[in-house]
Structure 1
């Protein structure tokens, strides 16, 4: 067994991340030399600070833009576009954040352009070189970890699929054991050997120099887990437990240490810890820019609402936020003032809606004041849409997973909305589908997913057939 088999994929990804930061640092210096024909010599010059800030943001943001995940099967243009979007977003956030250091006006826009182009070029070239070297080594057996999957149900099959997609990790699934309780579609992978019994796994592992065994048995199958522990105790092989939780609705399955014990967080959303800080930073910067750019439009809408119907310009209503904390959501008032406290959902040709309000609701311009909610920290740009408290009381009893929506901050737009589930939910089935999309977003959150939803919202707009 070669030494390369002892390398950890986490270490490989860390090396790629550090390598990217080094390349971005060098490209920043290269861009400065091309622009000014001299080197950056002052440690705390505006350009040096911009380099520190840009590289730090890249280290934090790039992993969340899925540039280190599956690349096999992607067209080169798609990979290049993903890198370009990620690096462009990082530079944009860096420039905005540099205003806090009072250095933004001192930065050359031409230098920023050079840094973007050179950084993107180096990232793209290094990635293709690294991935192709790893694939070449893997094909020659020099970078390969033979694997056996025990329990080939939905979790085992999905794990195998991801190992094939991320072949630069070096995993090579050679055999599987199909537990009788995990019956699924027939195994159609020609190279896979199907092991006949649990007892045969130990001998196969030793005879074929298997590096890792992945256990994807159901959580309830403790008898087989204990038996496997005894069968593999003398095999000197790495064993990974990936419980099959296909029938258990959970938000996550992260392993953490709790008072020294390994524990699985079943209900902790992906948007937590450093991810939550990154998302909050992005939300507040984005909202501040949006409010600054939209100020004339906001003023015009406020005047139109005030002049066309008596009552306040803004409508506010109590909603549930993160972990059930109550906050006041702001909208431009679109109904007659005496009816706005009626929480009955608006319908087509609703007589309560004013003429200006109908236009605002159709175009979703009434939602714009929620950027202030984002600045206050009550909402996010992307997240499940907040419902009226009375609706929460109704649907938390009807839909089993309804309240899981409140494990993250509510959003101005969301995964459900860009997939057509916005506006009136006049049936339980419509609300169930909206909740299903919200839970999918919470379980599969990434920074790239947020950017994708924002872009699709900008392309499709907030308007739609159900917007009234």
Structure 2
């Protein structure tokens, strides 16, 4: 659990997108477009830009992307954006809208977007090659023409930001995957590349399990195109084809931005409309029943295994074991008020503060105590995959009957299965469905809410 990535590269794409929105909105004030009302137009072009960007994969520019791939993206984006802008006249009946001024606006905004996109593209490359920032430590397993070509790319293309550390030869008499795993853990390797043709199915499955359980990125070096499938992401590093095993939908910048926006809106509404009066009321009742703090803070694992303080309303009397032992049925530590707020899940409400601060999401895999996470890692295969996304106040496993105390190994195994399904199949509709089911369960009561 000690592996913490601590990267800020996930903020690059949303930041670039934000600047693009400032450009397309700000430049509207420089031209006499002759709008009847400026604000509907701003909303229109903002929504249009976001939709086009998602459909066009405009911000899917990776460290190994070539400039010849970026330019068509720019051209396609601006052409579609121009068409939608001129459609504004017909949709909203704007006969007096200045067509020439609108054309000048589009050309000027396009020039700024082009310039900004290309400048950031080259600056990021220089940042990786000269300052050695935004890097990834990698190893390669296998020894053939393809692996040698890939290693040469890592060494020569410093602008990609890959720091090649070591090559493991499968045909070496001393080779073992256990040695590779030990090296990865000891040297905090970020990504593992391996040649499919040199490993057995058993070894590949072992690699996949290791990567999943230790939050490492695993990528395939194919020897032909016959093994491609719809579940694999296919990319080129120069002329070398690379396959990625698992695509985390929430790693896409737009999806992450969308989910974070909804989390902020949802948590703000709850904090202002509910916690503003509920917190003081419960604070008084909790203090009247037992001495101790109003809030109960517990260290839990979050995104990428990072630890954070998970907040709850205190529902138990203060003792030395309160922070270490999971609550069991008929637990004597639970107070009378605590039993009620646990049954109705009101004790979880302060976690909306965690959501607002960015530690958690409204929906996601439930975070576990750090001590329990160490135990569950041994019992449930791929347990660490849960930490690819932010933990949630509620989750698919919880509304599916796997909440509260883990009584048997089957409980945690099934909980992890539901969590991985959620991660691999995330959508806003799934989030809303889970939220509705959670609210329904709060009023109906749950058997394992104790």
TM-score after normalising by structure 1: 0.49
Aligned partner of 1:363 in structure 2 is 344
Change in Cα spacing, 1:361 to 1:349, as seen in structure 2 (3 Å) is same
The CA distance in 2 between the partners of 1:59 and 1:413, in whole Å, is 32
Further displaced range: 376-385 or 47-56 = 47-56
CA offsets, 1:329-384, max 9 Å, x none?
A: 11111111224644221111100011111111111111111111111111111110
Change in Cα spacing, 1:52 to 1:348, as seen in structure 2 (3 Å) is same
Change in Cα spacing, 1:307 to 1:54, as seen in structure 2 (3 Å) is farther
Aligned partner of 1:42 in structure 2 is 35
Aligned partner of 1:467 in structure 2 is 449
Aligned partner of 1:17 in structure 2 is none
Aligned partner of 2:45 in structure 1 is 52
Q: Equivalent residues in 2 for 1:33-432 (5 A)? A: 42=35, 45-56=38-49, 243=228, 253-258=232-237, 261-274=240-253, 275-294=255-274, 295-339=276-320, 341-432=322-413
- Give yes or no for contact 1:306–1:313 (8 Å, CA) kept in 2: yes
Equivalent of 2:431, from 439, 450, 463?
Answer: 450
SS of corresponding position for 2:42: helix
- Give yes or no for contact 2:247–2:424 (8 Å, CA) kept in 1: no
SS of corresponding position for 2:426: coil
Aligned partner of 1:433 in structure 2 is 414
- Give yes or no for contact 1:61–1:447 (8 Å, CA) kept in 2: no
Q: When the two structures are aligned, how many residues end up with a matched partner? A: 253
The CA distance in 2 between the partners of 1:48 and 1:443, in whole Å, is 36
The CA distance in 2 between the partners of 1:270 and 1:421, in whole Å, is 24
SS of corresponding position for 2:429: helix
SS of corresponding position for 2:241: strand
The CA distance in 1 between the partners of 2:54 and 2:364, in whole Å, is 19
Change in Cα spacing, 1:434 to 1:338, as seen in structure 2 (3 Å) is same
Return the offset for 1:447: 2.2
TM-score after normalising by structure 2: 0.51
SS of corresponding position for 2:251: coil
The CA distance in 1 between the partners of 2:332 and 2:380, in whole Å, is 30
The CA distance in 2 between the partners of 1:41 and 1:435, in whole Å, is 57
Aligned partner of 1:203 in structure 2 is none
SS of corresponding position for 1:331: strand
Return the offset for 1:435: 0.7
CA offsets, 1:423-442, max 9 Å, x none?
A: 11111111111111011111
SS of corresponding position for 2:353: helix
The CA distance in 2 between the partners of 1:277 and 1:437, in whole Å, is 24
CA offsets, 1:200-223, max 9 Å, x none?
A: xxxxxxxxxxxxxxxxxxx7799x
Change in Cα spacing, 1:355 to 1:263, as seen in structure 2 (3 Å) is same
The CA distance in 1 between the partners of 2:338 and 2:370, in whole Å, is 22
- Give yes or no for contact 1:315–1:340 (8 Å, CA) kept in 2: no
Return the offset for 1:44: 6.3
The CA distance in 2 between the partners of 1:60 and 1:365, in whole Å, is 40
Change in Cα spacing, 1:43 to 1:262, as seen in structure 2 (3 Å) is farther
Return the offset for 1:390: 0.8
The CA distance in 1 between the partners of 2:359 and 2:256, in whole Å, is 13
SS of corresponding position for 1:315: strand
**Uncovered stretches (5+) of structure 1, i.e. residues with no partner:** 1-39, 64-218, 223-238, 246-251
RMSD: 3.0
SS of corresponding position for 1:423: coil
CA offsets, 1:208-266, max 9 Å, x none?
A: xxxxxxxxxxx7799xxxxxxxxxxxxxxxx9856469xxxxxx632234455332222
Return the offset for 1:311: 0.6
SS of corresponding position for 1:293: helix
